[in-house]
């Protein structure tokens, strides 16, 4: 049986499991791939660092270039932009197929890497870049090649889903839930990429590129994180019949593509509302296929390693029997809508003085900015002697830019008539009362 040399770049949580499975199940993988897969080296920064029994110390090397140049297939699991980008381009130029789980690199430099693969006539696989063990990349690249995808909604970051789930189920505040995620290994010591939405935005860019056959950069995705989410937001969501999730959204509208990552209210009847803990899920709407859902563990050594190894088998199979992985399919530039033109329903929470005319003035601000109101819930705010109301306003579908203008105007205060009438004729007859915006959150109804 033919032998193919495999170079592994990185021996962390995922890399070590890839090595273990390739070694323990060598005979099975040989049958599936049509060739024996021999690890020719494992590139790491520190060859003296303990790696556990799964990794043969004799395979460790700090000379990544040497094993890249000797390999038929290169598995890149280092993460980050450099030196991963340089190593991948070197591997392709040398004729090796590449398997990577590097979503940040693909979202930032995808076009360059796709073009390098095409120029060198080699394959690029990246199932592990989105959703761990979920075969969502394969689904979009191959299974849905005969359909037109209209929208993608996904929970694609297990760390933030775990944090929000703990806040909702146990009543924890954000900081306590984050510490719990770090203690369990779901969150890094520096959780910025996860909690600020950048990890999800990179995945959203990859999925949108595949679904809509255009090049989407991570900077095209309007991104918000979860640092500002409070227990009050969770409670308001529950009262209104929603669950608060960090959602990656990509929608193909008549005027262009709308891309968003941020805290969103998901109806309790929607499939994404039932995704708990560190699990991921992606719901795809196609013209012909209707609604499809992918669900599973979105991270972790073993689940992600299975996605990597499925790509390795596919790459090896093509090396042995011929053919290529699906190439990048680009129809041309598609208009990517700015955040201001994104349309959705929104929920805005604010604190206002409990006085006559306030509600009328607030709704007037929404009307002036072309934002239609669906529902208003008014409750007593706090327990202090000062009279104040908490208003939760849910809108009909509106442009985000109009909602932001509404919030900006409200933040300056509202004018109410001193005499209790419904009209403000002049400044002398009005009082300007403060409005404190607590939060505004997108509502996903799809």
Which of 287, 321, 355 is the last residue in one of the domains?
321
> What domain range is 65 assigned to?
3-132+301-321
Structure confidence at residue 52 (pLDDT): 80
- CA dist., res. 207 & res. 214, Å (int): 10
- Tell me if 9 is assigned to a ligand binding site: yes
- Tell me if 136 is assigned to a ligand binding site: no
Compute how many other C-beta atoms are within 10 angstroms of the C-beta atom of residue 118. Answer: 14
The total domain count for the chain is 3
- CA dist., res. 340 & res. 322, Å (int): 47
- CA dist., res. 439 & res. 441, Å (int): 7
269 shares a domain with 310: no
Q: Does 424 map to a domain?
A: yes
- Tell me if 103 is assigned to a ligand binding site: yes
| Overall average pLDDT of the 313-341 stretch | 89
- CA dist., res. 417 & res. 406, Å (int): 20
| Overall average pLDDT of the 16-45 stretch | 96
| Overall average pLDDT of the 189-201 stretch | 95
Structure confidence at residue 276 (pLDDT): 94
244 shares a domain with 143: yes
Which two three-digit tokens encode residue 30?
């040989």
Span 340-356, pLDDT tens digits: 999 999 999 999 998 88
**Is the pLDDT score of 428 beyond 60?**
no
145 shares a domain with 289: yes
| Overall average pLDDT of the 23-35 stretch | 95
Q: In a 10 Å sphere around its CB, with 0-12 CB exposed, 13-18 middle and 19+ buried, how is residue 431 labelled?
A: middle
CB 167, CB 177: distance < 8 Å: yes
Span 124-172, pLDDT tens digits: 999 999 998 899 999 999 999 899 999 999 999 999 999 999 999 999 9
Q: Does 328 map to a domain?
A: no
Structure confidence at residue 96 (pLDDT): 98
69 shares a domain with 170: no
| Overall average pLDDT of the 296-317 stretch | 92
194 shares a domain with 119: no
Tokens 């009082």 map to which residue?
A: 431
Catalytically annotated residues:
203
- Tell me if 158 is assigned to a ligand binding site: no
- Tell me if 14 is assigned to a ligand binding site: yes
Tokens 């010591």 map to which residue?
A: 189
Structure confidence at residue 116 (pLDDT): 96
**Is the pLDDT score of 95 beyond 90?**
yes
Structure confidence at residue 72 (pLDDT): 98
Structure confidence at residue 329 (pLDDT): 82
146 shares a domain with 44: no
Span 373-396, pLDDT tens digits: 999 988 887 655 467 888 999 999
From residue 27, alpha-carbon distances to 22, 62, 302 in Å are 9, 28, 19
Q: What's the sign of the alpha-carbon dihedral 20, 311, 294, 446?
A: positive
- Tell me if 24 is assigned to a ligand binding site: no
- Tell me if 188 is assigned to a ligand binding site: yes
287 shares a domain with 364: no
292 shares a domain with 277: yes
**Is the pLDDT score of 236 beyond 90?**
no
Q: Does 287 map to a domain?
A: yes
- Tell me if 329 is assigned to a ligand binding site: no
**Is the pLDDT score of 419 beyond 80?**
no
**Is the pLDDT score of 421 beyond 90?**
no
Between residues 114 and 357, the one the model is more confident about:
114
* 381: Cβ contacts below 8 Å, ≥ 6 apart: 351, 354, 388, 389, 390
Q: Does 330 map to a domain?
A: no
CB 294, CB 288: distance < 8 Å: no
CB 276, CB 194: distance < 8 Å: no
């Amino acid at each position: 049986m033919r032998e193919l040399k495999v170079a592994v770049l990185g021996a962390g949580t995922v890399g070590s499991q890839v090595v273990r499975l390739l070694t323990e199940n060598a005979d099975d993988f040989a049958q599936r791939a049509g060739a024996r897969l021999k690890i020719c080296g494992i590139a790491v920064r520190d060859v003296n660092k303990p790696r556990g029994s799964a990794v043969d110390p004799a395979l460790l090397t700090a000379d990544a270039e040497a094993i890249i140049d000797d390999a038929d297939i290169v598995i890149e699991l280092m993460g980050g932009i450099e030196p991963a980008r340089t190593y991948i381009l070197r591997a392709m130029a040398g004729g090796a197929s590449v398997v990577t789980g590097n979503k940040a690199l693909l979202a930032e430099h995808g076009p360059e890497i796709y073009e390098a693969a095409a120029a060198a006539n080699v394959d690029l696989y990246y199932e592990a870049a989105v959703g761990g063990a979920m075969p969502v990349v394969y689904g979009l690249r191959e299974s849905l090649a005969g359909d037109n995808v209209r929208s993608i909604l996904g929970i694609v970051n297990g760390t933030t889903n775990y944090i929000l789930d703990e806040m909702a189920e146990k009543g924890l505040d954000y900081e306590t839930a984050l510490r719990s995620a770090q203690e369990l290994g779901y969150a890094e010591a520096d959780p910025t990429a996860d909690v600020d939405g950048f990890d999800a935005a990179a995945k959203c860019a990859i999925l949108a590129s595949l679904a809509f056959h255009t090049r989407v950069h991570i900077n095209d995705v309007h991104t918000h994180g979860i640092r500002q989410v409070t227990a009050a937001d969770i409670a308001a969501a529950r009262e209104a019949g929603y669950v608060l999730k960090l959602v990656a959204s990509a929608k193909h509208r008549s005027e262009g593509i709308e891309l968003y990552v941020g805290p969103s209210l998901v109806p309790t009847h929607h499939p994404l509302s039932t995704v708990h803990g560190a699990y991921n899920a992606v719901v795809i709407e196609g013209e012909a296929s209707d609604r499809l859902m992918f669900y599973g563990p979105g991270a972790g050594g073993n689940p992600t390693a299975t996605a990597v190894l499925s790509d390795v088998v596919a790459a090896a199979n093509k090396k042995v029997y011929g053919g290529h992985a699906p190439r990048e399919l680009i129809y041309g530039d598609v208009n990517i809508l700015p955040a201001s033109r994104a349309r959705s329903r929104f929920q805005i929470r604010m604190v206002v003085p409990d006085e006559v005319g306030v509600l009328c003035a607030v709704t007037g601000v929404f009307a002036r900015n072309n934002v239609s109101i669906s529902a208003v819930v008014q409750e007593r705010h706090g327990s202090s002697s000062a009279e104040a109301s908490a208003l939760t306003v849910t809108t009909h579908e509106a442009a985000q830019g109009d909602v932001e203008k509404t919030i900006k105007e409200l933040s300056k205060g509202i004018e109410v008539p001193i005499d209790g009438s419904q009209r403000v004729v002049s400044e002398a007859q009005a009082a300007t009362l403060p409005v404190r915006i607590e939060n505004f959150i997108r509502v996903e109804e799809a």
